Amino acid sequence: MRIKLDKFVLAIIILIIVAYFFPEWGLDTSPVPLDLIGTIGISLIFFFYGLKLSPQKLKAGLSNYKLHILVQASTFLLFPLLILLFRPLIQNEEQEILWLAFFFLAALPSTVSSSVVMVSIAKGNIPAAIFNASISGIIGIAITPLWMGLFVTERASDFDFSTIYSKLILQILLPVILGVLLQKYWGDFMRKHSSKLTLFDKTIILLIIYKSFAESFAENLFTSVSIIDLILLFAGVLAVFSIVFIITGLIAKLFGFNMEDRITAQFCGTKKSLVHGTVFSKILFGNMASLGLILLPLMLFHASQIMIISAIASRFARKVDAEKASELANEA
């Protein structure tokens, strides 16, 4: 199995290094208005998302309800419940922040682009992948703040649901709706230039990541995080991914899914969106000093899921081909 370092992951690593040496560019005193750029960029990301969101494909995908339930339950129930099991082990302030960071990762929706691409490489059920990845982002607008509200309110007195949801509606939901309404005029154009839109999405995410880490470095937040801690964080991320991947696969087999549906269940049900994570963190946590630390498990998970899924996608594709060949042989 060949594992390649994703270019976006490499860009994140470079931005974190830049934030370490030049944190002043990401602070409120910087002449570059990164907050304003990020806010506008977030709205545009979801406006373009709405333009690319095909209502026809969403309607077509509704019939395979067992697969949809499994993917969404894995994304919004299995992940958070798994992390909740470790909450009684918290012994100090630092552990609580790290646990909250993992819980934030667990509460996020699935990613869209990489889910569909990887399902396509593995020869899974692509329409179902498009449906689940797309609907996950919309469900996450409501579910993620609800999960986080259970614990963030203990740490932040300014965590107000009315404020949070008004920001989510204005910055995310309304742009998506506007994009869907304008799809018949600009939808084809946007799909034609989807690679350029992806570059725009990633640029905005990189800016938000840079600002988050710049503020954390300026506050010396990472002085307590050692190399051993990073290794343990990475091991924790891999463990969470592996457990959910195995459980999702077992449930898919129990439901009697064919190989294509099993691939979609495992690939979509184990993904977490870095786009939604960085956007939601900006809205949910504001200018919290520990924002960089809260994003750390998410970025480790993002890198891990890309490398692991890309490594096993071709193996799954061979299984699909073998299954189809066996079906043809039986028919003959």
Mean pLDDT of the chain: 81
pLDDT in tens, 213-272: 787 778 776 676 778 878 888 899 999 999 999 999 999 999 999 888 999 999 999 999
- Asked whether residue 283 carries a pLDDT value surpassing 50, the answer given is yes
Instruction: Give the dihedral sign, CA 222/212/94/307.
Output: negative
* More confidently predicted of 40 and 35: 40
Residue 78's pLDDT is: 97
pLDDT in tens, 166-195: 777 787 778 888 988 888 888 878 777 777
Residue 314's pLDDT is: 73
- Asked whether residue 27 carries a pLDDT value surpassing 50, the answer given is yes
- Asked whether residue 291 carries a pLDDT value surpassing 70, the answer given is no
* More confidently predicted of 105 and 299: 105
Give 274's pLDDT tier (boundaries 50, 70, 90): confident
Residue 164's pLDDT is: 66
Residue 119's pLDDT is: 83
Residue 112's pLDDT is: 66
Residue 268's pLDDT is: 92
Q: Which two tokens stand for residue 128?
A: 């179902």
Taking the C-alpha atoms of residue 165 and residue 136, their distance in angstroms, rounded to an integer, is 17
pLDDT in tens, 78-100: 999 999 999 998 888 878 888 99
Residue 58's pLDDT is: 63
Residue 157's pLDDT is: 46
SS (H, E, C) the chain: CCCCCCHHHHHHHHHHHHHHHCHHHHCCCCCCCHHHHHHHHHHHHHHHHHHHCCHHHHHHCCCCHHHHHHHHHHHHHHHHHHHHCCHHHCCCHHHHHHHHHHHHHHHCCCCCHHHHHHHHHCCCCHHHHHHHHHHHHHHHHHHHHHHHHHHHHHHCCCCCHHHHHHHHHHHHHHHHHHHHHCHHHHHHHHHHCHHHHHHHHHHHHHHHHHHHHHHHHHCCHHHHCCHHHHHHHHHHHHHHHHHHHHHHHHHHHHCCCCHHHHHHHHHHHCCCCHHHHHHHHHHHCCCCCCHHHHHHHHHHHHHHHHHHHHHHHHHHHHHHHHHHHHHHHHHC
Name the least confident of 5-9, 29-33, 183-187, 279-283: 5-9
Residue 312's pLDDT is: 82
pLDDT above 70: percentage of residues in the chain: 85
- Asked whether residue 284 carries a pLDDT value surpassing 90, the answer given is no
